[in-house]
Amino acid sequence: MLTQRPRGTFDILPEEVRKWQRLEQATRLAFHHYHYQEVRTPVFEHTELFSRGVGDTTDIVEKEMYTFVDRGDRSLTLRPEGTAGVVRAYVENKLYGAGGLSKLYYMGPMFRYEKPQKGRNRQFHQYGCEALGAEGPEIDAEVISLNLDILRQFGVERAKVELNSVGCPVCRPRHKELMLEKLMPHRDQLCTDCQKRLEKNPLRIFDCKNEQCHAVLQESGAPTILQALCDDCKTHFDGVQSYLDQMDVPYVINEFLVRGLDYYTRTAWEVTVEGVGTVAGGGRYNGLVEQIGGPVTPGIGFAGSYERALVALEQQGFQGDAPDALDVFVAVADKTAQPAAMALLYALRSAGLTADRDYQGRSLKSQFKTADREAAKFVAVLGDAEVQNKTATLKQLATGEQQEVPFEQVVDFIRKNLSKGGLAQ
């Protein structure tokens, strides 16, 4: 056990980390272009935040949370998603005080006790944003286009937006009644989860993975929420679609789409990739800020999974970037050169160059092999002769050219040659 990671977690080793760093950089850049600012909230919160914020009839809260009692007898939970914490921070720090729109983004680990499978882990990593304080369909269109844009920046091909409206506190109760009316006679044919949903939140029956439940939905003639929207919700949804059309953001309407969280109102969407499934998703949540104890504030946001994006990219043959090559490898030919080697390394690194050396007492020949393997652009050889002459012998590995350079000029010489770009780029 001592040398095994917990089930559902994984190590991201250096070669893999390079892929992550590329996606993280693309994330930050895209959010920057859309003028969102980063916010960092704790990895654990009071359990109540999620049971109230995410909704206590959701699978997340019912089955998947990592909840524990700390030494002070408080019930805490590792965050299973990002929105509740960001909204809590927005309320607690009174970010609404300025009266403007808050455009916030985040990235980091989330935790859910799920059955591990490809691209789905118990510790997983999300990027996401929340726009708090705007109600009109313009911001919906912005957030949806941003969601898709980030995936494009990652290089994910054929990502598709599936769009729906899940109504509001006016049309949802009416829709719930219609569903109950149509489904009650077929109650026994529904799975046990859906029987419970029927009482608490029948809309979520559309989200059931059970085929039998879907058949019952169809046969019973229960209306989709889209068929039961109130006029305001319908106008809003039409607005979102017309802006997306204007912006040339591709989407399809999926009237069966219901997000697995209770707080969504009106716009809801998922971004899917063929062969991978859902890679991101989001929605509007006009009641959440109030529910968490803040003033009535409309909000909308999305979250995407880095793991799922990587599955999509790997399906396309994405390899990740090659490791950064060394600018200089310092090779020590004789023991007397050790002090000079340490001084040179320090000077090179201080000057912003990437430099390394051998620390295992290897022969000059194997030091050159290492330099080759690390794709070093220069090898700086220091031996008895160089120490005597206060020089270093600089060899460009690409050309094989070699030159003795006075010690104090080594950094400048290498910098000048690197900026010429004539060497391995």
Residues that bind Zn ion (CB under 5 A): 167-168, 170-171, 191, 194, 208, 210, 213, 230, 233
* Shortest CB 228 distance to Zn ion, Å: 9
Distance of alpha carbon 90 from the chain centroid: 20
Closer CB to Zn ion, residue 45 or residue 193?
Answer: 193
Closer CB to Zn ion, residue 210 or residue 354?
Answer: 210
Count of CB atoms situated within 10 Å of the CB of 323: 11
Closer CB to Zn ion, residue 153 or residue 201?
Answer: 201
* Shortest CB 182 distance to Zn ion, Å: 15
Tokens of 127: 């990027």
**Of 174, 88, 169, 175, the residue nearest 132 (C-alpha):** 88
Strand spans (E) along 7-69 = 37-38, 44-46, 66-69
Closer CB to Zn ion, residue 213 or residue 257?
Answer: 213
Residues 6+ apart with CB under 8 A from 181: none
* Shortest CB 167 distance to Zn ion, Å: 5
Contact 51, 67 (CB under 8 A): no
* Shortest CB 152 distance to Zn ion, Å: 32
Contact 133, 301 (CB under 8 A): no
* Shortest CB 169 distance to Zn ion, Å: 7
Helices then strands (H, E): number in the chain? 15, 16
Closer CB to Zn ion, residue 140 or residue 386?
Answer: 140
Tokens of 125: 């990593």
Closer CB to Zn ion, residue 139 or residue 208?
Answer: 208
* Shortest CB 277 distance to Zn ion, Å: 19
Strand order in the sheet with 75-78: 44-46, 75-78, 66-69
